[in-house]
Amino acid sequence: MEWNMEYCMEQVMQKDLGRRLQVGQDIIDSILDKDKFQDLEQDQTMLDRMVDGVATNWVNSSNFKVALLGMDILSALVTRLQERFRTQIGTVLPSLIDRLGDSKDQVRDQDQALLLKIMDQAANPQYVWDRMLGGFKHKNNRTRESVCICLIATLNVYGAQGLTLSKIVPHICNLLGDPTSQVRDGAMNCLVEIYRHVGERVRMDLGKKGLPQSRLNVIFSKFDEVQRSGNMILSPVS
């Protein structure tokens, strides 16, 4: 069977689990072949249907292997479309944010790698983070923790200059009182990472957030440790 766009769409919408595991790599290879699927560049409706199908049927799958293949398909689409994938970010983020709470490290790691790739090739980091802020309030505590980890990774890859941190810090502050200790730790690590990049401005801003003094003391002592350790990075910020 020749892999034209219509046949590929049938496979993306395929409900049979075994069949999806069989054809996943073929879909990826076909997307990465510039000579195939010219419709991807020209037919917005077809692209919308395809991305929605991958997010809904693959990334959201209860089978982690199908979910991983779904992320690989999205990654191939980012490689192929570059900035033209930007219009699809709102479609895929809910599924990717949900999957950050997966119980398997492999799924969470691949998810984060895909998010960072989207920030690099399809849109700037702040464009993506503006649409990820809901992840800090996600019902799954592992997702809340993973969103913190993803922010730290974003800072380490792109620096602070690509982010409007004033939009993000209030969400992190809310997590300092989270019922789950791992989430609280993740939020604290986020603030320390931001301090490494931004410096004393963060300390001043946090003093205005209405946080309990006891909590501020803990945060500021962590900042002092980083300062003494010589691990500051300090990049220009917006």
Residue 238 confidence (pLDDT): 45
112-162: pLDDT as tens digits = 999 999 999 999 999 999 999 999 999 999 999 999 999 999 999 999 988
For the chain, domain boundaries: 1-90
Dihedral over Cα of 169, 170, 171, 173: its sign:
positive
Residue 129 confidence (pLDDT): 98
Return the structure tokens found at 214: 């006891």
CA dist 92 and 131 (Å) reads 11
Residue 12 confidence (pLDDT): 93
Residue 236 confidence (pLDDT): 54
Return the structure tokens found at 67: 């979910």
Residue 1 confidence (pLDDT): 53
Q: Which residues of the chain have pLDDT under 70?
A: 1-2, 235-238
CA dist 93 and 195 (Å) reads 27
Residue 123 confidence (pLDDT): 97
Residue 40 confidence (pLDDT): 81
N-terminal to C-terminal alpha carbon distance within the chain: 52
**Alpha helices per DSSP H over the chain:** 5-12, 17-32, 39-42, 44-53, 64-81, 89-99, 105-121, 125-130, 141-158, 165-175, 181-198, 200-206, 213-229
